[in-house]
Amino acid sequence: MNMPLTGAAEPTTQGLRRMGVEVGLASEQALLEMVCEGECNALALAWSPTDRALVMPRRHDRLAGFPAARHRLAAMDWPVLFRATGGTPVPQSPAVINLALALRCRVGSSAAHLEWGYHRLGDPWCAWLASLGVADADLGPTPGAYCDGRFNVRIGGRKLVGTAQRWQRVRGCRDMALLVHGAMQLDDTPEALVAVVNAFQAAIDDPQRFQAASHIALRDVVPDLDLEAAMPRLLEGLVAGHAMPGLAAHH
C-alpha cells in the first residue's frame, strides 16, 4: 500500500494532508488514474481543505438555475466545484476530513462490487470510531441529510461521513479500478454546512431542504479528540485489509 504525495500538498498532521479543494479533488482522481495505469493495486489519501467550496457532480450544471446559483454561492464565498464521484452537493471546508481509497478489482468476483467498496471504506471507519469510544457507529441512510445514500457512516443514526464512488475500466484488461471517497464533518456545526447546501437549493429553485438534525460533527461526540494521534490509526485500519478477495494481483 502506498501513500501518494502530491507536489501541491503540504503535509501537516501525520497521514493527513492539507490542500485546496481543487487540488484535493484532482489528487483523488490521480489516485484512480495511477491504479488504472497499473502503477499499483491500492492507494489511499487523507486530506483536509485549506479553503472551502460546494462540490457536486458536473451534471448539476444542466440545471436551469445553475449559473445564477453558482454566482450566488460564489458571492457567499462558497465557490462551486465539480467532482468525479456520484451524489449531490456537499460542502468542503477546513472542518471536513476526506479519505479516498483507490483499488484495483477483478470484475466478476463476488467480493468486488459496489457494496463491497462502501464497506471497504466504511467498516474500518466504524471500527476507528469505536476505538475513540463511539459505540453506536454504523453504515446506513440518513433521511433529511444532504447527499444522502445507503452507506453513510452514522453515529446514532445521524450522518457523520458521506461516501461516494467512481469506477473505471483498467486500460487493456477486464479489471476495474474503484475510487471510494468519504467526507467526514470534524468541526463546525451541522447547521453551518447544511445552510450552505440549502442556499444552493433555494438558488436553483428546488424546494427540497435538508435538516441539520440529520448530521453530526465528530467534535460533538469526541470533543477532546487528538486528531494527530487518531488519524494515523484510521489510515492504518483502511490499508490493513488490502489483501482481500476480489483485489486483483499486482501486474
Partner 1 sequence: MSTAITVPEDLWEGDNEGVITAWLVDDGGQVNQGDLVAEVMVDKAQYEIKAPAAGRLTIAKQEDEVVERGTTIASLDD
Are 41 and 247 in contact by the 8 Å Cβ rule? The answer is yes
Burial of 85 by CB count in 10 Å (0-12 exposed, 13-18 middle, 19+ buried)? buried
Q: How far apart are CA 41 and CA 37, in angstroms?
A: 10
Query: Which segment (4-12, 44-52, 146-154, 193-201) binds partner 1 by CB under 8 A?
Result: 146-154
Among 67, 108, 143, 156, binds partner 1 (CB under 8 A): 108
Does 114 bind partner 1 (CB under 8 A)? Our answer is yes
Pick the closer one to partner 1 by CB: 24 or 162: 162
Residue 109, strand partner residues: none
Does 58 bind partner 1 (CB under 8 A)? Our answer is yes
H helices of the chain, in order, are 21-36, 66-75, 114-131, 190-203, 218-221, 227-240
Burial of 25 by CB count in 10 Å (0-12 exposed, 13-18 middle, 19+ buried)? buried
Does 87 bind partner 1 (CB under 8 A)? Our answer is yes
Does 63 bind partner 1 (CB under 8 A)? Our answer is no
Question: Which H or E run contains 11?
Answer: strand 10-11
Pick the closer one to partner 1 by CB: 15 or 91: 91
Pick the closer one to partner 1 by CB: 117 or 190: 117
At closest approach, how far in Å is the CB of 88 from partner 1? 9
Does 149 bind partner 1 (CB under 8 A)? Our answer is yes
3-state secondary structure of 13: coil
Among 71, 169, 250, 251, binds partner 1 (CB under 8 A): 169
Among 167, 186, 192, 219, binds partner 1 (CB under 8 A): 167
Kindly report each contact of residues 193-196 with a partner whose C-beta sits within 8 Å and lies 24 or more positions away, as own/partner: 193/91, 193/93, 193/95, 194/146, 196/54, 196/73, 196/76, 196/78, 196/91
Pick the closer one to partner 1 by CB: 66 or 167: 167
Pick the closer one to partner 1 by CB: 69 or 176: 176
C-alpha cell at 161: 461521513
In the block, residue with C-alpha cell 483502511: 238
Q: How far apart are CA 209 and CA 198, in angstroms?
A: 6
Does 182 bind partner 1 (CB under 8 A)? Our answer is no
Pick the closer one to partner 1 by CB: 105 or 230: 105
x-marked contacts with partner 1 along 12-41 as a string, rule CB under 8 A: ------------------------------
Query: Can you give the binding site for partner 1, defined by CB under 8 A?
Result: 57-59, 62, 84-87, 107-108, 113-115, 117-118, 147, 149-151, 163-169
